[in-house]
């Protein structure tokens, strides 16, 4: 499917939308004020990720539905979660209500994915649980400058390459529109002093978009290897949640126990360097994924290999940050 010139009309609208965000953010006091759990030191706007659902709306206006794989339920699911997440950024909402909306949104996405597939109810439930967990992994990772935007940008460029070389099912126009939205977002976020963070509206939107593409590829190719495109965020979030559960902590409360937070706060690495390293690891994994697909290697074996390496690396580095923390406490 060819790219459309309509994208050139959408870009100025995206820029106007993001510039209009600032007076609105000031009016509704969408400020992320640093506290003892924060990894940043300056007052920053939150909710800048609103550029993503707005870009989807622009896409719908110019391209409509059922253009490629940009279907009604898929896009409505993302927009539904975006509206609730934006409300959460402004006023806050019950975490269980947000979780219900995530399941509803994922259900809408599955309605489009399962058109050509028949699943047992238990399989749908398992997919829904894993999908919602992945969405919230993106929410957890919006903690330091550049992390979410850079990682997601690499994801969508990978999807674009998959669409071009392997599975020509997706509308590249939507992927390009999302990629441009991410570039605009990173202009304000991927810097030493970020101007805004994505907020729930951005991270949840990205999570649902990524889950859609990965689920579609897995279910329509019967190859689990595409799950490897989300393994860096998945392992980081999963192991952090496991660690917090062992400490009997409320996993819905803000914290500073992610490895990337330890690297920034304890090891004093820069936000941008940590974001770049996380993304670089995922790029290497994605390259390995393409190689395995080209050589027809077993997708399960590659995914298991990647998970073992990532989990082992996480544990080793996490242990080193613990030692570093103990040394600092002893000095103080």
Residue range 151-183, pLDDT digits in tens: 999 999 999 999 988 878 889 999 999 999 999
Q: Give the distance from CA 210 to its chain's centroid.
A: 7
Q: Note whether residue 177 is domain-resident.
A: yes
In a domain, 92, yes or no: yes
Structural domain contains residue 1: no
Domain that holds residue 246: 6-331
pTM (two decimals): 0.91
Give the pLDDT of residue 117: 58
- How many folded domains does the chain comprise? 1
The rounded distance, in Å, linking the Cα atoms of 124 and 273 is 39
Q: Tell me how many degrees the CA angle 281-286-291 measures, rounded to the nearest 5.
A: 125
The answer to whether position 86 is within a domain reads yes
Residues 85 and 97: their CA atoms lie apart, in Å, by 11
At 113 the pLDDT is 81
Closest C-alpha to 271, from 209, 180, 192: 192
Report yes or no on 168 lying in a domain: yes
- Percent of the chain surpassing pLDDT 90: 56
Task: State the SS3 of the chain.
Answer: CCCCCHHHHHHHHHHHHHHHHHHHHHHCCCEECCCCCCCCCCCEECCHHHHHHHHHHHHHHHHCCCECCECHHHHHHHHHHHHHHHHHHHHCCCHHHHHHHHHHHHHHHHHHHHHHCCCCHHHHHHHHHHHHHHHHHHHHCCCCCCHHHHHHHHHHHHHHHHHHHCCCCCCHHHHHHHHHHHHHHHHHHCCCCCCECCHHHHHHHHHHHHHHHHHHHHHHHCCHHHHHHHHHHHHHHHHHHHHHHHCCCCCCCCCCCCHHHHHHHCCCCCHHHHHHHHHHHHHHHHHHHHHHHHHCCCHHHHHHHHHHHHHHHHHHHHHHHHHHHHHHHHHC
Evaluate whether residue 257 is within a structural domain: yes
pLDDT in tens, 146-156: 999 999 999 99
Percent of the chain with pLDDT over 70: 91
Mean of pLDDT values over 98-104: 93
Checking if the pLDDT of 63 tops 60, the result is yes
pLDDT reported for residue 30: 84
Mean pLDDT (the chain, rounded): 88
pLDDT (tens digit, 9 = 90+) per residue, 127-146? 889 999 999 889 888 878 99
Phi, psi of 44 (to 5 degrees): -130, 145
pLDDT, position 227? 96
Q: Which is more confidently placed, 111 or 51? A: 51
Residue 106 pLDDT greater than 90, yes or no: yes
Provide the pLDDT for residue 289. 97
Instruction: State the pLDDT at residue 28.
Output: 84
Position 23 confidence tier, pLDDT thresholds 50, 70, 90: very high
Looking at residue 15, what is its pLDDT?
Answer: 96
Over residues 238-248, the pLDDT tens digits come to 999 888 888 88
Asked if the structure places residue 132 within a domain, the reply is yes
Identify whether the C-beta of residue 169 lies closer than 8 Å to the C-beta of residue 177.
no
pLDDT band at 20 (very low <50, low <70, confident <90, very high): very high
What are the pLDDT digits (tens) for 198-253?
999 999 999 999 999 999 999 888 999 999 999 999 999 999 988 888 888 877 67
67-82 confidence digits (pLDDT tens): 555 578 889 999 999 9
Residue 125 lies in a domain: yes
Quick one: pLDDT at residue 142? 82
Residue whose entry in the numeric block shows the structure tokens 């923390």: 325
The string of pLDDT tens digits covering residues 260-315 is 999 998 888 999 999 999 999 999 999 999 999 999 999 999 999 999 999 999 99
Residue 42 has pLDDT above 70, yes or no: no
């Amino acid at each position: 499917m060819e790219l459309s010139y309509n994208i050139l009309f959408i870009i100025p609208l995206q820029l106007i939308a993001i510039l209009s965000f600032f007076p609105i953010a000031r009016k509704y006091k969408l400020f992320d004020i640093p506290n003892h759990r924060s990894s940043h030191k300056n007052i920053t706007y939150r909710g800048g990720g609103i550029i993503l659902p707005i870009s989807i709306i622009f896409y719908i206006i110019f391209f409509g539905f059922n253009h490629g794989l940009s279907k009604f339920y898929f896009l409505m699911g993302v927009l539904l979660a975006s509206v609730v997440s934006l409300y959460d950024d402004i006023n806050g909402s019950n975490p269980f209500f947000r979780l219900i909306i995530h399941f509803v949104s994922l259900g809408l996405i599955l309605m489009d994915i399962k058109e050509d597939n028949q699943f047992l109810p238990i399989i749908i439930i398992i997919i829904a649980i894993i999908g919602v967990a992945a969405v919230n992994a993106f929410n957890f990772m919006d903690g330091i400058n550049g992390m979410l935007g850079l990682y997601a940008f690499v994801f969508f460029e990978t999807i674009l390459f998959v669409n071009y070389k392997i599975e020509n099912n997706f509308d590249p126009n939507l992927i390009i529109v999302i990629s441009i939205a991410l570039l605009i977002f990173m202009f304000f976020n991927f810097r030493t002093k970020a101007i805004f963070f994505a907020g729930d509206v951005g991270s949840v939107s990205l999570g649902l978009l990524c889950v859609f593409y990965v689920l579609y590829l897995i279910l329509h190719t019967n190859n689990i290897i595409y799950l490897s495109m989300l393994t860096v965020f998945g392992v980081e979030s999963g192991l952090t949640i496991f660690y917090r559960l062992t400490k009997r902590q409320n996993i819905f409360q803000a914290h500073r126990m992610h490895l990337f937070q330890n690297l920034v706060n304890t090891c004093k690495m820069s936000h941008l360097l940590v974001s770049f390293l996380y993304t670089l690891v995922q790029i290497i994994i994605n390259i390995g994924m393409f190689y395995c697909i080209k050589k027809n290697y077993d997708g399960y074996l590659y995914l298991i290999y990647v998970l073992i390496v990532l989990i082992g690396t996480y544990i080793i580095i996490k242990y080193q940050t613990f030692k570093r923390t103990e040394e600092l406490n002893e000095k103080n």
